């Protein structure tokens, strides 16, 4: 099952936006607001705050970036807010495949075409997880139990979110069913699992590294290779399931934002991502650092969106 979900190209694209010297020199003349369309402490928030802190510490912009969490409507409220913002570069969005899913299932009446993509700043892997004292000793135990369960094993998820999509891809490849229980973000999935309300879930590697001392255990990782901080955790490909799923993080501005301002922002991200200290910090937090901008980024998002739309009906809560 090789789709655009598993295709992730590290390194910088060589497509640069044109620079218009005089307006760019005046931008920004006030703080740039970065909208995280989810709650504090989740993967998107971790990515945003880590990169924004680096940009501010390096003084890569004439005024700081400020992170704002807009946690409502499974991301849709934040998506709408930035879509409708003034196209002047002062309010931007950081998001991932959740934006694409939202458009594909009709949660919003728009998708990535409603924005101009500024940059991609890396990705994050997904792990299958259960409680530490679960009878599932490994991923194959979970698959066997799921196949034998008439009603499907209860799985904490966020309906229409990236973990739901990861679950759909893997359960299809492995031939099992689960009963999706909508809990929402990573912290809610953790509580559902620890409380015994569900028996399985998916976390980003950043979430799992943060949560694992709380009483959860990873069973497998949906990545092309093992994670350096989880060297004993097998990939699902090693176990015979041809699935690789990474969540790329994208930064967007409203459509028709001036190209010179887009270039100023993209330059800041590119310079920050070239810093070895930031790269190590991202790795320490479970992220895979990398940078893209320009036409290559646009084409990648388009291809992923086409894949997401093909699963739209299965991701919809209706």
The yes-or-no verdict on residue 46 having pLDDT over 90 is no
Q: In this prediction, what percent of the chain has a pLDDT beyond 70?
A: 91
Indicate the helix (H) or strand (E) that contains 217: strand 216-221
Give the count of beta carbons closer than 10 Å to the beta carbon of residue 54: 21
Backbone phi, psi, residue 210, to 5° = -80, -30
The rounded distance, in Å, linking the Cα atoms of 164 and 94 is 20
The rounded distance, in Å, linking the Cα atoms of 206 and 267 is 26
pLDDT digits (tens, 9 = 90+) for 198-228: 999 999 888 898 899 999 999 999 998 999 8
pLDDT digits (tens, 9 = 90+) for 133-170: 999 999 999 999 999 998 889 999 988 778 888 999 99
For residue 59, give every residue at least 6 positions away whose Cβ sits within 8 Å of its Cβ, in sequence order, or none.
Answer: none
Where in the chain are the domains? 4-123+247-315, 125-221
The rounded distance, in Å, linking the Cα atoms of 91 and 253 is 7
pLDDT for 317? 64
pLDDT digits (tens, 9 = 90+) for 267-294: 999 999 999 999 999 988 888 899 999 9
CATH architecture of 125-221: 3-Layer(aba) Sandwich (3.40)
The yes-or-no verdict on residue 4 having pLDDT over 70 is no
The yes-or-no verdict on residue 19 having pLDDT over 60 is no
Cα 200 off chain centre by: 20
Q: What mean pLDDT value characterizes the chain?
A: 88
pLDDT for 23? 44
Going by pLDDT thresholds of 50, 70 and 90, the confidence category of residue 38 is: confident
Q: Is the peptide bond before 28 cis (omega within 30 degrees of 0)?
A: yes
Total-model pTM: 0.77
pLDDT for 5? 44
**Domains 4-123+247-315 and 125-221 equal at CATH topology level:** yes
Give the count of beta carbons closer than 10 Å to the beta carbon of residue 256: 9
CATH architecture of 4-123+247-315: 3-Layer(aba) Sandwich (3.40)
Q: Is the CB of residue 155 less than 8 Å from the CB of residue 167?
A: yes
The rounded distance, in Å, linking the Cα atoms of 147 and 141 is 10
Question: Terminal CA-to-CA distance of the chain, rounded, Å?
Answer: 26
pLDDT for 40? 84
């Amino acid at each position: 099952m090789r789709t655009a979900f598993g295709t992730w190209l590290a390194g910088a694209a060589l497509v640069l936006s044109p620079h218009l010297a005089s307006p760019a020199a005046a931008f920004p003349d006030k703080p740039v607001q970065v909208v995280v369309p989810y709650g504090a402490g989740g993967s998107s928030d971790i990515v945003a705050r880590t990169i924004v802190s680096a940009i501010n510490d390096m003084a890569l912009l004439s005024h700081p970036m400020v992170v704002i969490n807009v946690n409502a409507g499974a991301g849709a409220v934040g998506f709408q807010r930035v879509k409708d913002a003034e196209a002047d570069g002062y309010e931007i969005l950081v998001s991932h495949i959740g934006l694409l899913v939202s458009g594909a299932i009709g949660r919003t009446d728009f998708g990535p075409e409603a924005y101009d993509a500024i940059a991609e700043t890396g990705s994050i892997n997904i792990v299958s997880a259960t409680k530490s004292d679960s009878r599932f000793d490994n991923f194959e135990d979970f698959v066997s139990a799921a196949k034998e369960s008439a009603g499907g094993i209860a799985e904490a998820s966020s309906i229409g979110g990236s973990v739901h999509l990861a679950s759909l891809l893997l359960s299809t490849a492995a031939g099992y069913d689960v009963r999706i229980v909508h809990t929402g973000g990573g912290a809610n999935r953790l509580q559902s699992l620890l409380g015994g309300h569900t028996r399985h879930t998916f976390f980003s590697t950043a979430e799992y590294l943060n949560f694992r001392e709380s009483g959860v255990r990873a069973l497998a990782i949906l990545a092309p290779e093992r994670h350096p901080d989880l060297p004993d955790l097998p990939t699902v490909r090693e176990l015979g399931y041809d699935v690789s799923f990474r969540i790329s993080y994208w930064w967007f501005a409203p459509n028709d934002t001036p190209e010179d301002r887009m270039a100023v922002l993209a330059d800041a991200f590119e310079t920050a991502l070239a810093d070895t200290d930031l790269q190590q910090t991202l790795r320490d937090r479970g992220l895979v650092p990398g940078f893209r901008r320009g036409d290559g980024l646009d084409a990648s998002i388009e291809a992923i969106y086409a894949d997401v739309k093909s699963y739209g009906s299965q991701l919809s809560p209706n």
